[in-house]
Amino acid sequence: MEQVYLNGAFLPKGEARIPVDDRGFLFGDGVYEVTPFYGGVPFRLPRHLARMRRGLAALQIPIEAQGLEALEALHEEILVRNGLEGAEMAIVYLQVTRGAAPRTHHFPDPAPAPTVYAYARAFQRPSGEEWEKGFGAITVPDLRWARADLKTVQLLPNVMAQQAARAAGVADALLVRDGLALEGAHSNLCVVFGDRVVTHPLSNQVLPGITREAVLEAARARGIPVEERPIPMTELPDATEVFFTGTTTEVRPTVQVDGKPVGDGKVGPVTREIQEGFLELVARECWVEHPVGAGAR
């Protein structure tokens, strides 16, 4: 039976309960992380935890230093308790909310104990054929708040955008604000112009993706020029390739946007090279075998 973690204890998921006063439930007052595991080894867990720490500090959710340390150990433990230590790919979801207290907009005083919840599940990437075919995206207005750099559980605009993509029969929603192509509903965006990879710079408008960071590192290591600058939608028709990056997305080639082909409408060479480089990083850091050759997974 699936075991989850809630406030210091592991228990069957069906027995986990949170109070109706939990501020995560009432206000979306909390942050979360999704960390990938390859062959039971986390990929860049310290980076994920650092992002969570930054989010907790920004929301002024008090959590003790020991509490944060415990969160690291909890990742391995929840994986093992669910028999996923040998899984080719798995994710651990971790959420921390401000805790439960009678509803007031301002922070409760005294501060309640934060609610800490985690679960693990196996994760599968698309088949090699699906990846080779590439994926579609639609553009959607970005309706999120002005702190998209914080990984808060207030995800309704992301949910609505992803549902619009699903209804349109495509994999991703590309969020557009002020005429700029920012990121996906749950992934970062890279646009390729010839041999250059371009992505929106880190700012309050995009999530500082851990996969984005790894992908840019892989690109630079392979001598692929990288530019971090805003991408006006007016430049999109000149894009030769587009791909999204994320923990559950890895490197996902986008071959059409709003029904129009990107470049020649096929998965391009830069995306393949980046994919290869990213999988190499995963292989090196998680001691797993390189899954398959570029673009052929």
Neighbour-count burial of 257, counting CB atoms closer than 10 A to its CB (0-12 exposed, 13-18 middle, 19+ buried):
buried
Q: Which 255-294 positions form the footprint of ligand PDD (CB under 6 A)?
A: none
Comparing CB distances to ligand PDD, the nearer of 100 and 185 is 185
* Residues across the chain: 297
Please, what is the minimum distance in Å from the beta carbon of residue 163 to ligand PDD? 14
d(CA 91, CA 72): 14
Q: Which of 100, 173, 174, 207 binds ligand PDD (CB under 6 A)?
A: 207
d(CA 33, CA 249): 14
Q: Return the percent helix, strand and coil in the chain, to nearest 5.
A: 30, 30, 40
247 binds ligand PDD (CB under 6 A): yes
d(CA 38, CA 172): 24
* Type of residue at 137: A
Please, what is the minimum distance in Å from the beta carbon of residue 22 to ligand PDD? 20
Neighbour-count burial of 252, counting CB atoms closer than 10 A to its CB (0-12 exposed, 13-18 middle, 19+ buried):
buried
Residues forming beta bridges with residue 1, ordered by sequence position: none
The span of 3-11, 217-225, 226-234, 242-250 binding ligand PDD (CB under 6 A) equals: 242-250
Q: Which helix (H) or strand (E) holds 113?
A: none
254 binds ligand PDD (CB under 6 A): no
The span of 71-79, 195-203, 243-251, 282-290 binding ligand PDD (CB under 6 A) equals: 243-251
Per-residue binding letters, 140-179, with ligand PDD (x by CB under 6 A): ------------------x---------------------
Q: In the annotation, is 266 catalytic?
A: no
Query: Which residues are the active-site residues?
Result: 151
Residues that bind ligand PDD (CB under 6 A): 34, 158, 183, 186-188, 207, 209-212, 245-248
